[in-house]
Structure 1
Amino acid sequence: MSSQLSIVGGGMVGACLALALQPFARQAGWRIRLVEAHPPGDKVQTSYDARATALSHGSRLLLERLGVWQALAQGAEPIRHIHVSDRGHPGITRLDAHQEGVPALGYVVENALLGQVLLSALDREVVEWLAPARVVRLQAQVGGYALDIEQQGQLSQLETDLLVLADGGRSGLLDQLGVHREVKPYGQAAIIANVSSAEGHNSVAYERFTQSGPLALLPLSSKRSALVWTLPEDQAAEVAALPDPLFLARLQEAFGYRMGALTQVGARACYPLQLIEAQEQVRPHLVVLGNAAHSLHPIAGQGFNLSLRDTLALADTLIAAGRQQRLPGDLAVLQEYLQRQQRDQRQTVAFSDYLTRLFSNSQPLLTIGRNLGLLGLDLLPPARRLFARQAMGLKA
């Protein structure tokens, strides 16, 4: 039973889905089409300012399933310790990979390497790659969707049995389809940059909660750390634009000296933070995936890891349906996927949102409560283990 599957968005989520489906698609005669607006890079572009993604231990296990972890491992910086603190208060929690029985709590991988490894693993006889190409119009029809695609100034129409929208949190295609998204602004913006320090990170990921918002420094190669610094929206752009010495001084004041003096900062990006959730993730012949389905605050590092779990669950559901001679676009099949993932999605979104709101609030009673909570996690191994397993993307 031949089927045509189209994935709009050839980034990390879309490429992972194509890769997960690829072996069964080869056997079943399915055709997979990846439509991506940006041309694929020919090689990894390494630079001081290279952007990176935090992968949980659970995501490592899923990438091993996909057969790509070995290629990623040499460029992945391990997180062996996590240090969570509240600036100006005694509450501290420490997580340790050895205590959790894993080689690392997570890893930080530069996006360019992750993208190259995923795309290199695709079989072009099974996965058709359209890039740069843009879907300008979608139309539901009997048995699937029609896609109007613009490529090199030319328009063409393609049909698909299953359409997966994985084109990011600002997907205009969802608007075309009338898929409502619930948006909860945090009143914060994130400054993203890479920084270096005199003493290096020693494989520690730092989560630091300040009066102005959460701050994270994640370990990268060459003594660099990936910074995610959340500030009130009306301050962030001004801080991001400071000259390097003034920016480092402000960051040092907020973070402290756990890595010694901060010595270098690269280019800064700044964007507003919101919790965005699509109110529909499945329709007949349609799945919304990745940031298009749910965009989370970056401070807890849960966004891509949740999307990867969704992706593998969707692939497993589609493959199981294919083996039963069921059509991949059947609503009943897609609802099985969603029911399978709803608990994980709700727990992860709630965990991320709760941490963000709790540690962005300076009310005295909440400050006392969260510090008692951090101390309790540090002193009570069972509670710390539950927290660690959530952070690692594992079931409690």
Structure 2
Amino acid sequence: MSSTTSVDLLIIGGGMVGASLACALKDKPLTIAIVEAVPLHSAEQPSYDDRAIALAYGSQRIFQGIGLWPQMKFHATPIKKIHISDRGHFGITRLDHQKEGVEALGQVMAGRDIGNVLAEQLANQANVELLTPATLSQIRYIDNGIQAEVMQNEQVLTISAKLMVAADGGHSSVRQLLGIDSDSKSYQQSAIIANITPSRPHNHVAYERFTDSGPLALLPMSDNRCSLVWTQWQQDVDEVMSLSDEAFLAQLQSRFGYRLGRLKQVGKRTAYPLHLMRSKEQIRPRLAVIGNAAHAIHPIAGQGFNLGIRDVSALAECVSDALVNEQDIGSLATLQRYAEWRH
């Protein structure tokens, strides 16, 4: 790319949401540039500690529409049933894919695998130019467009676009540079993430259990692993994280029970502080804010990434409609249709 260039669509953030948007527009008469701080493709080998992503049935349908599900399905573990319980209380809620009339209630994939499928598509997509590693430094409005200055290899690139999409996560540089505030509230909790191996087969069942120390979920993965998301009050996180593997598994076992038999192994543990966040502006003329740059919620419902994929689907549809009707893809009228759809 030359030091000064113009594109139709400039996506800031080439993570899973930003990359998915570019892929969703692969057959459209658009020139697209993606600015991403880190390389998309992972050369890492599969690991016991792969971070899992739960794809809702609706997200699977969206990826089918984009044309990526055949590649993704190879890496996915289907959720056939969901088991919901409340520790210390009677009653269980069960959901079954057969009763719902679907092949699976959801799918669980390693984030690395999703990223690699998206990166492979983008590498072969003629209408996309990927700038990585590169960082956004300035944004300004120009006549009939928006312009960004991007640093790549110690060179300043000036990129003009009809539409900029902020898909650059919770600490969005786009929001910061444009002075877009957000409403944010801490849950006073952290989610402890790890992979677990039980003694019994998970049989494609996802478990969600509410406990005195916080809700927890165990999602089925490949090789009979389960992805654990265990919410803890903030004051208890350091103590739980410092436990030995044996003590951690024992405490988890006491909260979860023996539905999966004995919990035998735990991998690397990571704790993430939880907060509720919503951008006060999700559209401006020439700008759409999507994914974690627009909203963050508690992970126990498993909707974080899925909300971002719904943003992708709605925005891609609005951009496509604008192209068909020979309208400006970055106009406020186009983006208001997107905002109304998502709210």
Alignment TM class, shorter chain as reference: over 0.9
Q: Report how far residue 44 of structure 1 moved.
A: 5.6
- Kept in 1, the 8 Å contact 2:15–2:40? The answer is no
Q: Residue deviations 1:276-312, cap 9 Å, x none?
A: 0011100000000001111111111011112111111
The residue aligned with 2:250 is 249
Partner of 1:91: 91
State the match for 2:330 in structure 1: 329
Using the alignment, how far apart are the partners of 1:290 and 1:310 within structure 2? Answer: 7
Q: 1:11-64 CA deviation, whole Å, 9 max, x = no partner? A: 111111101111013xxxx21001111112254630000111100111111111
What is the match of residue 11 of structure 1?
15
Q: Sequence identity of aligned pairs in percent?
A: 48
When residues 42 and 239 of structure 1 are mapped into structure 2, their CA distance, relative to the original with a 3 A threshold, is closer
Report how far residue 133 of structure 1 moved: 0.8
Question: 1:149/1:3 Cα in 2 relative to 1: closer, same or farther (>3 Å)?
Answer: closer
Task: Give, in whole Å, the separation in 2 of the partners of 1:88 and 1:206.
Answer: 16
- Give the Cα separation in 2 of the matches to 1:300 and 1:118: 24
TM-score calculated relative to the size of structure 1: 0.83
Q: What does residue 3 of structure 2 align with? A: none
Whole-angstrom distance in 2 between the partners of 1:236 and 1:140: 44
Aligned to 1:385: none
CA distance in 1, matches of 2:83, 2:341: 32
Aligned to 1:317: 318
Q: CA 1:124–1:102 in 2, change beyond 3 Å: closer, same or farther? A: closer
**Offset at 1:217?**
0.5
Partner of 2:114: 114
**Which of the numbers 18, 23, 26 marks the counterpart of 1:22?**
26
Alignment of 1:38 with 2:42, yes or no, is no
Partners of 1:181 and 1:115 lie apart in 2 by 27
Q: Deviation per CA, 1:334-373, whole angstroms, max 9, x where unpaired? A: 001111121xxxxxxxxxxxxxxxxxxxxxxxxxxxxxxx
User: Does the 8 Å contact 2:7/2:159 carry over to 1?
Assistant: no
AA aligned opposite 2:69: W
Q: Determine the C-alpha separation between the residues in 1 that align with 2:70 and 2:280.
A: 37
Structure 2 residue aligned with 1:259: 260
Please report how far the alpha carbon of residue 228 of structure 1 lies from its aligned counterpart in structure 2 after TM superposition: 0.5
Instruction: Structure 2: give runs of 5+ residues left out of the alignment.
Output: 1-5
SS at 1:213's partner residue?
coil
Q: What CA distance in whole angstroms lies between the structure 1 residues aligned with 2:290 and 2:54? A: 19
Q: Distance in 2 between matches of 1:201 and 1:183?
A: 36
Q: 3-state DSSP class of the match of 2:20?
A: helix
What RMSD over aligned residues (CA atoms) do the two structures have, in Å?
1.3
Kept in 1: contact 2:11–2:165 (CA 8 A): yes
The runs of at least 4 consecutive aligned structure 1 residues that moved more than 4 Å come to none
- Number of matched pairs: 337
Query: How do 1:219-298 residues align onto structure 2 when only pairs under 5 Å count?
Result: 219-298=220-299
Q: Partner of 2:223: helix, strand, or coil?
A: coil
Q: Which moved more, 1:65-74 or 1:148-157?
A: 148-157
Letter in 2 for 1:261: R
Residue of structure 1 in register with 2:80 after alignment: 80
Q: 1:44·1:113 contact (CA, 8 Å) conserved in 2?
A: no
Return the alpha-carbon distance in structure 1 between the equivalents of residues 173 and 7 of structure 2: 26
- What runs of 5+ residues in structure 1 fail to find an aligned partner? 343-396
**What amino acid maps onto 1:93 in structure 2?**
T
Deviations 1:185-205 (A, max 9, x none): 111111011111100311110
Q: Separation in 2 of the partners of 1:153 and 1:237?
A: 40
How many angstroms does 1:227 deviate by?
Answer: 0.6
What secondary structure sits across from 2:9 in the alignment? strand
Counterpart secondary structure, 1:23: coil
Tell me, yes or no, if the aligned pair for 2:136 and 2:173 is still in contact at 8 Å.
no
For the residues of structure 2 that align with 1:65 and 1:241, how far apart are their CA atoms? Answer: 44
Q: Which residue of 2 aligns with 1:203?
A: 204
Which has the larger share of strand?
A: 2
SS of corresponding position for 2:222: coil
Aligned to 2:150: 149
